[in-house]
Amino acid sequence: MSGLKRLTIDHLRGSVVPFSLTFEKGKKLTVIYGENGAGKSTICDAFDFLGEGRVGSIENRGLGMTARFWPSLGKKSSDVGVHLETTGSACRAVIRKSNVVVIPPENRPYVEVFRRRQILSLIEATPGARYDAIRKFIDVSGIEASEATLRELIRGLNDSRKVAVAIVHENEDELRRSWETAGKPGKDWLTWAKGEASRDTEAFKTEINDLITLQAAYNRLADYPERLQSADQALKAEKPLSPMRSSASKNVSKV
């Protein structure tokens, strides 16, 4: 953050001769006091002129367009200038074709002036209106938006955590049931499950292959009971077999 160094006012309002105000280095607050007509309001006007391109002390006083009152007595608009030096930069405001121009424009400072009548209306305002008036000095809506996003993220992560915990409980129940089915070996279900998990998977592969071979053999034998039953029935009723047998004998002879 840059600090104020010097404000120089040339022929603006009460500044009949060029005037410079040097700010104390490293101070965040400067108090300017003096008798009536000493130039306190002119200093405020200079900041207003530089930051807002206007002179607030004479606005809303029934004077109409007030720009003609900006130069000090006997001076022209082109004589008016305000120069501000800060620790990081400098800029100058002048009047060009009835407009206030800041050079360079990117160094125009952000200025808010609270005048007596604004402070008085602030005192009389309702709390809501009072907040609206000062919110630009304490506006942290950007932070509030970022905070809301973070809260949303935390809510989402909490929901994901709840789902993960539920899945863990389900898996634990399943492991406990498997442990019970296996006859509750070992100290407890968790020790047993860890032992099972650390078993050499190669041994499982051999067992799986053996089971596959056994299943294939079983499939091949699956229709044997039926075939055996048919054969038994055929044996019991030998007669119906005779034509088949003689036909088979003929076929064999042919071959």
Partner 1 sequence: METPSHKLAEKIIERLIREELLTDKHGKKLLPKLAEGKLSQEDWSLAIELSDAEERKP
Between CA 213 and CA 95 the distance in angstroms is 99
Smallest gap from residue 143 Cβ to partner 1 (A): 5
Of 17 and 138, nearer to partner 1 (C-beta) is 138
Of 148 and 211, nearer to partner 1 (C-beta) is 148
Torsion of CA 196, 201, 202, 207, to 10 degrees: 60
Of 3 and 18, nearer to partner 1 (C-beta) is 3
Smallest gap from residue 211 Cβ to partner 1 (A): 44
Long-range contacts of 54-61 (CB under 8 A, 24+ apart): 54/100, 55/12, 55/13, 56/113, 56/115, 57/13, 57/115, 58/13
Of 144 and 223, nearer to partner 1 (C-beta) is 144
Smallest gap from residue 91 Cβ to partner 1 (A): 12
Angle (nearest 5°) at CA 101 between 95 and 102: 125
Q: For residue 84, count CB atoms less than 10 angstroms from its CB and return exposed for 0-12, middle for 13-18, buried for 19 or more.
A: buried
Of 150 and 212, nearer to partner 1 (C-beta) is 150
Between CA 41 and CA 47 the distance in angstroms is 10
Among 112, 114, 110, 108, which residue's Cα sits nearest to residue 92? 108
| Binding site residues, partner 1, CB under 8 A | 1, 109-110, 137-146, 149-150, 152-153, 156
Of 32 and 145, nearer to partner 1 (C-beta) is 145
For residue 78 the two structure tokens come to 């082109």
Q: Are 9 and 48 within 8 A, CB to CB? A: no
Smallest gap from residue 166 Cβ to partner 1 (A): 22
E strand spans, 119-160: none
Smallest gap from residue 157 Cβ to partner 1 (A): 8
Of 135 and 177, nearer to partner 1 (C-beta) is 135
For residue 237 the two structure tokens come to 């009723």
Q: Which residue has the tokens 């088949």?
A: 244
Smallest gap from residue 103 Cβ to partner 1 (A): 17
Smallest gap from residue 65 Cβ to partner 1 (A): 29
